[in-house]
Structures are given as C-alpha cells and as structure tokens.
Structure 1
C-alpha cells in the first residue's frame, strides 16, 4: 500500500503531515509514502531530511485582490495539475492526504481525476481557500477546531471530523532540565522562547530587539529569528540568544520555556498546547487572528493583535506573564485541555482503515 501526501508553503503545512506519517509507520511499517510539494518551496528542504520521497511541481497562488501574478499563476496551477497527474499515474498511491497550501490544490484535483480517495486536514479555525477549493473532492475532512465544522458549508459538514492537530512526537520527548541547563545561568531565571514560524517574523523580531533594553537579568530570551537572522545576530548578548533555526535542541527548549511568544499558526499552537506552555500570541490578520481570538475567549492564551502591537502593549503583556506564576500555569493548563494530543495516531488509524477496505 502507498499513501501520497501533499501540502506546503510553510512548516505548518508539512510537519503535521510528517507526524501522521510517523504514526502510520508505527502502526504498519509496510506502507510506502511520497510527498508532492512546490518545486521551489521549503517543503523540499524539510522532506530532504526524511526518508519520504519528494516530488516537486509548479504551484500558483490565487489572490483575492487584483494582481498581474494572478494571471501568471493560473498557468502555474495548470502546469502543476498535469505534473501532479503524471506523478500520481506513475506512483499509483492508494490514497492522497492533503495538508493544505496552494500547492495541494492541483494535486487534489489530479487525484480526483485518477479516482484516488482524498483526505484533507485543516489546521486553522476556518477552512482556508486552498482547502475550500479541495473540499468537494475529499472523502473526509479532519479539523483542529470544533467550530470549523459549524462555519463550513452544510454540504461538507457530514464528512468533517474534529480530531485536533497532528503533533510531532519528538517534541513531546523534550527534557525541561536539559533545556534549562543549556540556556540558563541560574535556575531561578525565567526562559522566554520566541518563535516566529518556519520563515521567521520581522514584526516580532523588531519588538524583541526593542524590548531588550528593558529586560532584566532575571529573564533569558531565546529567539528563532528565521531567514532574516543576519539582521538580528548583532544584538546577541548575555541573556539574549538569537538563532536562525532550531533543530534537535527544539524539544528540550520548548520544555524548558516558561513563556512562549509566537505567531498563531494552528500547528504551533497545538504543539505548544500539548507541551503545556503559557502563550503570548502575536497573530497575523486572517486565520491566525481567528485562531487566537477563539483561544483567548476560552482564556487559554494571551493575545496581542496586529492593531495593538506597539512596544508599550508588548512590554505590558510580557511583564504581566513573567511576574505571575499562577497565571502562566492557568493558561498552560487551559490550553492543554483544548488540545487533542493523539490527533496524528487517530488520523493514521482512520487512513489505515480506509486502505484496508
């Protein structure tokens, strides 16, 4: 049996899929896998670190505003469709699993033409445009938030299931003691982890740098700066450690963190929630703000929305968290109760059941 995965654009579209693959391998080691992603996207680099074969195709983004690129990207989508069709015909997978992103759309449409069963996972609060374009072809749609089903078109609700967001199993093995030993000089210090997503986040990076003059020795900040790392590396100092990306040390680092400052991608929220972290979210407009707002209403996170993201507001939010142990524990506990930590295993089992029909 063979399963094709598709999706890309950000790590949030790739890592959850890899978590499902790992869970499936544990259940049935005989299954083969492949991944279809954008030929110039970051997903190829991520898959290059795994044993899952990667196939690159052209991809185009449909923008909901006037842009000349909308015209050229239509041709990229068409080309990507035929490339995906050839890949699927050549590899003959028994099922296609889509994690979303615009590269997934031509793959889903090609799979439908090839009469391959299609499963979709939506991480965010509401179905994104790519998944809305794919939903009609899907046999099952898994979602991270229960309200996603209520917001969806009635014609899709019967095939939607709330199972949560897949989480990388390796992160759950993080060791708090090892992480704190690696980054702190004194045990009583508080560790703030700043994660701007797989591509980094300039707005968050700039806020952190502006905050540094007011930071006390009681606080240690470890900061993933992303692809703009060279701009922020010169600010490195005692108690502030900028780094472009984290690899093997990430699990211990998250486990060690007292506060995590992050964008509000659903994949990251699920992982931090599973590890019971107190979150300060700085969402982008759109789906991320929807994700953050729902969690804030549940009193599970603190949020600094785009319109509020001044240095003064940021400092106030950070100070409130680092000086309130009880609040941090309450946020971490509440968020953990909203997370379904076994999503990847449950999704993997449903896929296996489908393959065995």
Structure 2
C-alpha cells in the first residue's frame, strides 16, 4: 500500500454513508432550465440570483474588453496587471457599497484569505459566528490570532466573548450577512452596537447578500442603514453579480494596506479583462434595474410560503435561499436523486457542510424563475416529499 491508497478506503466510506458525490457536468449555460446528460432540468441550486450570467449587456462588455485588451492581463496587479477597467470597477464598486474604497480579488474565498491573513496578528482576537462560511474559517486559520466562536446569532455569547477580549490589541468580529446554508440574515444592528460598546472592528461577508439585500442589492450594511458603522464589507462577484471575483470594501487606508500585504492579491494574476469589464457592467445594471431584485424577492417569498404550507421544514430561511431539511445524509442524497428524476436539480447538502442530522436540499429562487417554473418545482417536491414522509 502506498501513501495514497487510504484515499480509496475513505471514498468507499463516504459512499457507505451516502456522502459521496461528483459534480454535475452541464451542457448549457446558467439559467432556470439547463441541460444535464442530454435532458433539460429545472435548475434550483444556482447562485445566479438575478439572472445576470446571461445578460446581454454583460456579454457585450466582455466581448468589447477582449477586443480591446485581449484575453488575459499577463501579470499580477502590482507589476503590470492593473488595467484601467480594474480601477474603474473598484471606483464604482466602492460607490455602490457606500465606502471610501474597494479592492478586487480573484474570488470571494481569496478575499477572506487576504483580509484575515493580512489584518490579524498574534496579539489580536477574531470572534466568529459558528455558521460562517468555510472561506472565513480558512482565512482565520491562516492567522496567529486568538479565536472565539459564538453560537449562531447568539448576541449574549458574542458580548461575553467581547467582554473577555479586552486585553487584545484588536477585537475583530466577523459574520456572514446572509448565511449560505440556512438563508437567514445576520443581526447586524446588534453586532454593530456591541462592537461600538467594546471598541471592536466589524467585518461582514456579503457573498449571498450582494445583489440580494439592500437598495439595488447594495448588501447587508445598506439593508440595515449602517453605513459608516461597518468597517469592512467583503463580497463575491460570482453570485448575484453573475461573473467571478471578490472584493473588500472599506477605507482607502484598508485598500492600500491590502495592496501591500495581502498575499492572494500580491501573488495572483489579476482578473481577465473580460471578467473585470462584465463585473463593472453588472454593477451598473444593478443600479439601473431594481426590478430584478424586486421580482426575485416576490418569487422567493411566495415559493417559501407555499412550501411551508405544504408542510416542508424550511428552517430559518428569510431570503431566496430556501433549505428543505431532510435529516439523514443517505436519505438526503436519495431525496435529491429522486427530485432529479422528476426534473428538478437540487443537490443534497450533508455533513460536514451541515450538521450530521441536518442534511438538506438547498433551493435558490432567482429572478429568472417564472411562475410556471416554480409550480413545476413545487409539484415535484410534493410528490417526492410525500414518498419520503416529509409532508
């Protein structure tokens, strides 16, 4: 047996537990209906909240950027890889988020690595919600800072952690704006109030809130009218924005510090011209098309209410992320497979992504889903839900 043979054993164990799966391979672009194995199925798992991945203005912006700049930047940002469209994107993104400045990274994941790895040192403490995204967790792990984890949205526990952190140089609170597996919203006003009482920094990750919460999708800070009271807003450009990338928005000093110190920024080739241009166009579309968000919310709220009326457990969902909790991992994966047989793609999510007894399929309702699409999904869910005894 060589040093990697044990991987096969672990894979077999995952299969036995019902946790094994490989990515679906799609034969069409992102949209409400997509082609999988030669068959059209209703896509209910995409983060393409506003349908921007196929927006004609974004596609034209990408094509024009390729014609002008080529397909790549050829370098990292600090050498020869900063194009004028990168700077324009950051200017308009900062204005959109209501901050002094913004810095774009290659992904939301690398943004969290860059921000936490740069700002947190061994005499600092970071206080994190228990259900924060894996990129936050991994970003924190790269630091030597002390760590405190408070139970999900438990403000008394957060205050206890802050009260016990007075001896640290920097107290750093981080939370998702919208939690990706449950679809609930962080109690940001309470978090900010505690941070101000205990002289702490607030960082909110808006991966699932950018384009979703706030006016024209400006995010959690705008949703709660907390501009000027949240120090760092992190987000992705790959979900509601429809393209790919990440950003950190805050002060000009923060931006310049990250330019000098954030390793993912320093050692990764910059966004391709087409990506930067289409992200820039997406921000402009968000500003000009509030009806996209309004439709997404109307569809999501109605669909969630219908599923709850049918008897499904949708957890604490209050956004277009709507989980249907099944429980057991193997049952969850079978439930997902049966939904696919009925023509609805909603992959199972099981441990370790969620707790062992909280397996679920996660549905995401987008602005592109029609009334007929959601009626089709509801009928399939009711059929399979009855067969599994969930309703």
Please report the TM-score for the alignment, with normalisation by the length of structure 1.
Answer: 0.30
Higher relative contact order (CA 8 A, sep 6+): 2
Please report the TM-score for the alignment, with normalisation by the length of structure 2.
Answer: 0.28
More helix by share: 1
